[in-house]
Structure 1
């Protein structure tokens, strides 16, 4: 496997988010941001200095403009993102609740769910890249699911690699369909990035070692099992290493797994070994959980290196 110097291409759906907070008078305010797992991954990788392109479709609307502006300011290549005037950019709202937070999504028939591979997108994917996909990218529509396999085929035919996060969202599809699609995709992944809690639901297994054996049967070159506040376990060339999480006060864990994925891929393309990349990524994720939101607390390379030496 040679990931060194490859460009990273993240593909999927991003949505503009509105998080409810209260001002000093107790009046509700909504803070605007950007969400979406592959978008978070792209931003994380870009903040570590990697060359990153995002592949998606947004509506010809204010929310699409917001997303494009945020990506551009992060240094992400947006030149392959299509603008679809017939469908909107997805949005969602985050409301505080006694058990944590409630999420309300408006993503049905979104521009991203109708995305097609344009000639520009095909040219991008033909350039020996690392394509990063998630199961959410596939679950948003039948069109998106078929598109993902077309993109994988194109990347593989041209010497590229597939990075795959098995993010499980049962509000988007049923468990049996999710298992079928995720297993099919995992069998093509060079870098496999499941999360332990979701993997327990996906596989029906509970024990961590059983879950590792389950994913190793797909023969990825790298398996990085994200274990939340316990860190991550990396398996590469028959060797396994568990990397404990930073000892921090976690405030908001949304986007931590995406931060890990982006930081991990960035260090891989910069020449680090999978184990070195994972140590860096665990530190990045540990920093990200100390702030609110998925994007704002994602650290840059300097911040991660400082955290690793303190």
Structure 2
């Protein structure tokens, strides 16, 4: 029996700056991308946040449905969030427009009610922009309620320091969220911004140990660390594996981490048993999926068939 994945997060338009000054709009947002990637891998995925009834929001709804993601958040009259993306040497940098927008038009009670309607608790994923204060207070309340209902909590930190008014408060909010997390993904940039020292793939075991030292026993049972072009590391209840990045021609890296984590969650949702015994295979498939995404402009996660054929 497969486990459903419910996603709480942001959906926004990535307006990518072009050489001639134009902005090319592409649908994005870390949890939005992750939901698509997990569904394309074959998992049962539902998106919890409202989508705007504007033209962008309608397009996002159509894309999610096309990729197999169920829409559980309804519509909002508020506009779609925007991000202006500057890509330099394949690496994106972002400017966000996030006030008075559709994906923040939700309530703790509304999300909790949707989770309660699910007969069997599944995986609740969140992360990225919703973890920025003061929005994180709503997320914390939802995560606490979900845990009491038996849901497994997944978080992709995806820290955005330029959006936060107070970085120290942001990092503290992240630590509060991490304390409630079962399955965590963090990048090397996330860890460095949070104050971890000597961040490198060869130090992964120590970094995971430091993350687990600050939480209750049993939390962070599964941790993935990504290191850009240096590879990734996966720890499932003490069973670990690391791999280098596959050799590809990179178009850009937009959505690579989201594709990686979406495929990882889908692997665990589709095969709930014996995850620790499959740690190497899980990591390999997720890295292949992310590599394929990097050969495409914007976030375009592959299907399982494409991953297997890579």
Partner of 1:67: 60
Query: Per-residue deviation at 1:101?
Result: 5.6
Q: Secondary structure at the match of 2:25?
A: strand
Describe the shift of the 1:96–1:222 C-alpha distance in structure 2 as closer, same or farther (beyond 3 A). closer
Partner of 1:16: 13
Query: Per-residue deviation at 1:28?
Result: 6.2
Query: Per-residue deviation at 1:20?
Result: 4.4
Partner of 1:242: 242
Describe the shift of the 1:207–1:29 C-alpha distance in structure 2 as closer, same or farther (beyond 3 A). closer
Q: Please, which runs of 5 or more residues in structure 1 have no aligned partner?
A: none
Partner Cα separation in structure 1 for residue 220 and residue 85 of structure 2: 35
Query: Per-residue deviation at 1:289?
Result: 1.0
Describe the shift of the 1:227–1:287 C-alpha distance in structure 2 as closer, same or farther (beyond 3 A). same
Partner of 2:303: 300
Aligned match of 1:122 in 98, 112, 116? 112
Aligned match of 2:208 in 205, 209, 212? 212
Partner of 1:282: 287
Partner Cα separation in structure 1 for residue 41 and residue 226 of structure 2: 19
1:125 and 1:151 in contact (8 A); partners too: no
Q: Secondary structure at the match of 2:69?
A: coil
Query: Per-residue deviation at 1:239?
Result: 2.5
Partner of 2:262: 262
The answer as to 2:36 corresponding to 1:36 is no
Partner Cα separation in structure 2 for residue 169 and residue 195 of structure 1: 12
Q: Please, which runs of 5 or more residues in structure 2 have no aligned partner?
A: none
Describe the shift of the 1:11–1:306 C-alpha distance in structure 2 as closer, same or farther (beyond 3 A). same
Partner of 2:81: 90
Query: Per-residue deviation at 1:21?
Result: 4.2
Query: Per-residue deviation at 1:115?
Result: 2.1
Partner of 1:178: 170
Partner of 1:51: 44
Question: Alpha carbon RMSD of aligned pairs, Å?
Answer: 2.3
Partner Cα separation in structure 2 for residue 82 and residue 6 of structure 1: 23
Q: Deviations over 1:26-54 (max 9, x none)?
A: x7655432110000100100110111001
Query: Per-residue deviation at 1:137?
Result: 1.7
